[in-house]
Amino acid sequence: MRLMLVLVAALSLTASSCTGEPAPELKLDPASLTVSGISSGGYMAVQYHVAHSRSVAGAGIIAAGPWYCAEASLARALGSCMQGDPAPDAAALAAAARDAARNGAIDDVAGLATDKVWVFHGSRDAVVTRPVTDALVGFYRAFLPEGSIRYETGVPAAHGFPTLDEGIACGTTSEPWLNDCDYDAAGTLLQQLYGPLEPRGKAMDGNLRVLEQARYAPGGTLPSMEALGYVYVPTRCARGAACRIHVAFHGCRQGTSFVGKAFVRKAGYNEWAETNDIVVLYPQAASSLVMPLNPQGCWDYWGYTGPGYATRNGAQVATVEKMLKALGL
């Protein structure tokens, strides 16, 4: 598979035989919520950030473009929002966000003003091109001061999540979409969003818990999401310490039915989470061969779950919000 986002082949949905559990009730700082994601997960992180800007403090985005980039069009999603042909119109999409806020579909965009944003484009990424991430930065500049945005473009990474030493060669695009670039994207983005952190430590396998996502789906029907998701609960957080909360969205073909737990275990978040009391929620999108058609297991950034996909009422946005509330937000 050459492209993480292109919908090309029909793939079988692998059903999990595991069982999950309700979200653990934790002591979470309500002002600490941040989000991040890669590719379609990057778009999902932007959508959640903009839709809930009053409660989200920042976003880290790898290989994705502005909020509502596809404007509910698959053709636009695969063209403008991936290849940048034409480049997304950042000013028009910022205006659309203002309109959505006035109509009550998303939070007031004034909620973005104090947030922090980190954007990454690998210099060898031919799947999502530089004009797309340029447009994302342009979109955020409409709402945030320049000093609150960090834009990294100098790492020779292909389309994938850059890590210190996990995954495939840095300039290669393939499963599991983790790129060994000697670059700690997880740690870098978390420090942009939270400020200086304690050094990364050792992640504890037993601290990765399985959640039943269906408990939190609107109407009990999962919107192209797996039955199970994951949450990393650091040792001190499990013992009752007050902790921060971060949501990490995987990319297309990077969920558990495609690459197992590679993203949730090896992207690098958990090592920072353990030493800095950051709970990390890993929602899981699912492949679907019927309505909605989503064979690559992408997060919805073009409208397959409905026209309100990028708003507070979007099915996936609403499911993740309920998961966070169950965790203690």
Q: Which of 115, 125, 134, 184 is catalytic?
A: 125
What does each C-alpha distance from 314 to 18, 52, 132, 203, 311 come to in angstroms? 27, 12, 23, 33, 5
CA dihedral 316, 320, 325, 329 (to 10 degrees): -130
User: Is residue 268 a contact partner of residue 207, using CB atoms and an 8 Å limit?
Assistant: no
| Three-state DSSP class for residue 216 | helix
Out of 32, 39, 80, 288, pick the active-site residue: 39
Catalytic annotation on 125? yes
Catalytic residue at 182? no
What sign does the dihedral 108-82-249-61 (CA atoms) show?
negative
* DSSP structural state of residue 250: -
End-to-end CA distance of the chain: 38
DSSP state of 214: G
- Cα–Cα distance measured from residue 177 to residue 170, given in angstroms and rounded to the nearest whole number: 10
Q: Give catalytic status of residue 73 as yes or no.
A: no
Q: Which of 49, 52, 121, 159 is catalytic?
A: 159
Residue 208 contacts residue 237 (beta carbons within 8 Å) = no
CA 210 to chain centroid: 18
What is 136-188 written as a DSSP string? HHHHHHTTS-GGGEEEE--S---SSEEESS-SEETT---TT-EEE-S--HHHH
**DSSP H or E segment with residue 258:** helix 256-259
Tally the residues of the chain: 329
Which residues carry out catalysis? 39, 125, 159
